[in-house]
Amino acid sequence: MARTPRITNQQILEAARQVFLQQGFGASTLEIAQQAGISEASIFKRFSTKEKLFLAAMGIPEKPPWVNELESLCGKGNFKENLINICFQIMEFYREVLPRVMMLRSRGNPITELEGKEPKPMQEVKVLTAFLEHEINQGRLRPCNAKTVAHILLGSMMNYVFLEQISSQVTIPTIELPLNSGDSTTEVSPFVHSLVDIVWQGIAPSQD
């Protein structure tokens, strides 16, 4: 007897993406299963929760890559250079994710609460706030309201990317900055460099 063709994860995600784009996060997993040609139980064998299925289908990582970078840079290297590179990574993350969120909203399907959790932008504010507070405690930053600084940085970059998306701008200028190794360089948006320069005036450690 011939085997029933196996439905791949990618096929499930493609079906889920179509349904989520039409109906938003409130879409039925049963309808997604029917679209993919499998049982609803089969979906949850591969994606343990509806939230995980939604994030995977929309190409939104559960944990932004820049969060891992924060963990590796905590208390190390030149903090201002670290902050510039982190902000650039955050901007790249928003450039990847924001168009998908905007597509959902353009179809009248805003992302509602995922499994009752705090909205992801607020989770990201908390993560960046904790990083900044650690640097303050290490004396690498002037004592300040870390949460406000996190809001300024994340909000500014999200707004910048949003304006990119709704403008006719095709190419975004970049400049090269040295990495902590001293020899290698990375391309960074002049906006990121200017933003950190401005914020740095209020958070740079005192030179006592």
Q: Which of 6-10, 28-32, 40-44 has the lowest mean pLDDT?
A: 6-10
pTM: 0.71
pLDDT digits (tens, 9 = 90+) for 116-148: 567 778 889 999 999 999 999 999 999 999 999
**Average pLDDT over every residue of 3-10:** 73
Q: What is the DSSP string of the chain?
A: -PPPPPPPHHHHHHHHHHHHHHH-TT--HHHHHHHHTS-HHHHHHHSSSHHHHHHHHTT--SS-HHHHHHHHHTT-S-HHHHHHHHHHHHHHHHHHHHHHHHHHHHTT-----STTPPPHHHHHHHHHHHHHHHHHHTTSS-S--HHHHHHHHHHHHHHHHHHHHHS-------EEEE-TTSS-EEEE-HHHHHHHHHHHHHHSPP--
* The pLDDT of residue 33: 92
Q: Map out the domains of the chain with their CATH numbers.
A: 9-57 (1.10.10.60), 65-203 (1.10.357)
Q: What is the pLDDT of residue 186?
A: 43
pLDDT score, position 26: 81
